[in-house]
């Protein structure tokens, strides 16, 4: 599948809890522009100040499946998505997060290790992930 715009962002709107696709970033006014619909279902441009949104970068990875597929671009994996994947006959669930130490996006999974159920964080760099399924976002209450 060929998805043209793999360099896009999504924005989590803190006040409403909605996730919208970003149409513009205005560094002079410190605002993010998103395309939305009004009560008559017409397209409108809404702007939000930087501090009222959290940007979610696109990883460029296309998921095998997604809970939100209405349009094909919605199978793209973004920072902040909660995904699952299979590796070595085990299923892992984790969050796509940016690691400032490596300057890369990675998937972090909390796993149980040891005979007493100790917790550890298992990190996978995106170049080693395939067969990813998007099951939600870090902002969802039920995930």
- In angstroms, the CA 1 to CA 141 distance is 31
* Sheet strand arrangement including 81-87: 65-66, 133-137, 81-87, 90-99, 104-113, 118-125
Looking only at Cα atoms, what is the longest distance across the chain?
Answer: 58
- In angstroms, the CA 65 to CA 135 distance is 9
Look at residue 2 in the predicted model and tell me its pLDDT: 43
- Tell me 56's DSSP state: E
- In angstroms, the CA 134 to CA 118 distance is 26
Of 59, 36, 65, which is closest to residue 134 (Cα–Cα)?
65
- What is the secondary structure of 28-42 as a DSSP string? TTTEEEEEEE-TTS-
Of 6, 132, 27, 26, which is closest to residue 81 (Cα–Cα)?
132
60-91: per-residue pLDDT in tens? Answer: 777 777 766 555 556 788 888 888 877 777 77
Look at residue 132 in the predicted model and tell me its pLDDT: 80
State the pairing for strand pair 133-137/65-66.
parallel
Q: Is this model's pTM higher than 0.95 or not?
A: no
- In angstroms, the CA 32 to CA 29 distance is 9
- Which residues, listed in sequence order, are joined to residue 96 by a DSSP beta bridge? 107
Mean pLDDT is highest, among 28-42, 84-98, 100-114, for 28-42
Look at residue 1 in the predicted model and tell me its pLDDT: 40
Look at residue 47 in the predicted model and tell me its pLDDT: 93
């Amino acid at each position: 599948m060929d998805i043209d715009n793999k360099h896009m962002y999504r924005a989590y709107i803190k006040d409403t809890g909605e996730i919208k696709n970003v149409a513009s970033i205005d560094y002079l006014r410190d605002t993010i522009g998103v395309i939305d619909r009004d009560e008559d279902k017409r397209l409108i441009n809404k702007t939000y100040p930087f501090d009222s949104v959290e940007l979610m970068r696109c990883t460029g990875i296309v998921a095998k499946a997604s809970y939100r597929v209405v349009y094909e671009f919605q199978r793209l994996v973004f920072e902040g998505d909660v995904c699952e994947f299979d590796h070595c006959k085990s299923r892992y669930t984790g969050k796509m997060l940016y690691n400032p130490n490596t300057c890369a996006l990675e998937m972090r999974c909390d796993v149980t290790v040891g005979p007493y159920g100790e917790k550890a964080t298992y990190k996978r760099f995106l170049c080693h992930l395939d067969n990813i399924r998007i099951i939600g976002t870090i902002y969802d209450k039920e995930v």
